[in-house]
C-alpha cells in the first residue's frame, strides 16, 4: 500500500537551524546597541561636563576665600588680594575670570567692617568639551570676611 502526500501540504516543519538563530541574535544585539549607544554617550559626556563645572565652582570658591583672607588683613591692598586669587585660578587653568570687590575696596574698610570678594567665571571657555551641549553661564563665588 502506498501513501501519497499532496504537493500543497508542507512536509514536517523543522525547527530553525543554529545558523539562523545566531543571525537572529546578532540582529537583536545590534538593534539594542543602536538604541543604547546614544544614551551611554550622553551619560559619559554629561558626567564629564558636570565634573568640570563642579571643579570650576570649587576653584572659584577657594580663590574667593583666599582673596578675602588676604583682603581682611589690616595691611592688605586690593591688588594683593586680587593677585592671590588670580594665582590660584591661573594654577587651576581657569580662563576668563574676574575678581571683584562689590561692597568696597579693602583699603577703605575699617576694622570690623565686612569685605566681600566675588569671582565670576564663564562656563563655556572652561569646559573640556568646549561647552557645546550647555549654554554659557557665569558661575559666581562670593566670600565675606571682617577686616582685621
Tell me the three cell numbers of residue 75: 595691611
**Sequence spans of domains, the chain:** 18-146
DSSP state of 17: P
Q: Phi/psi of residue 142, each to 5°?
A: -130, 130
* Cα–Cα dist 6/26, whole Å: 38
Selecting from 3.20.20, 3.30.420, 3.30.1300, 3.40.50, what CATH number does the domain 18-146 have? 3.30.1300
One pLDDT digit (tens) per residue for the chain, 148 residues: 666 666 665 555 555 566 666 677 888 888 888 999 999 998 998 888 889 999 999 999 999 999 999 999 988 899 999 999 999 999 999 999 999 999 888 888 899 999 999 999 998 888 888 666 677 889 999 999 999 8
Q: What is the pTM of this model?
A: 0.75
First to last CA, the chain: 118
Amino acid at each position: 500500500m502506498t501513501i501519497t502526500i499532496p504537493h500543497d501540504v508542507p512536509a514536517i516543519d523543522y525547527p530553525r537551524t543554529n545558523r539562523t538563530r545566531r543571525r537572529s541574535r546578532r540582529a537583536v544585539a545590534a538593534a539594542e546597541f543602536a538604541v543604547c549607544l546614544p544614551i551611554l554617550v550622553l551619560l559619559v559626556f554629561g558626567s564629564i561636563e558636570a565634573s568640570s563645572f563642579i571643579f570650576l565652582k570649587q576653584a572659584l570658591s577657594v580663590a574667593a576665600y583666599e582673596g578675602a583672607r588676604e583682603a581682611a588683613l589690616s595691611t592688605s591692598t586690593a591688588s594683593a588680594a586680587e593677585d592671590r586669587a588670580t594665582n590660584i585660578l591661573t594654577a587651576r587653568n581657569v580662563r576668563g575670570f574676574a575678581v571683584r570687590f562689590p561692597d568696597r575696596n579693602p583699603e577703605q574698610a575699617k576694622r570690623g567692617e565686612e569685605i566681600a570678594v566675588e569671582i565670576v567665571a564663564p562656563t563655556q571657555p572652561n569646559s573640556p568639551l568646549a561647552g557645546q551641549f550647555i549654554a554659557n553661564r557665569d558661575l559666581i563665588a562670593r566670600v565675606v570676611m571682617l577686616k582685621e
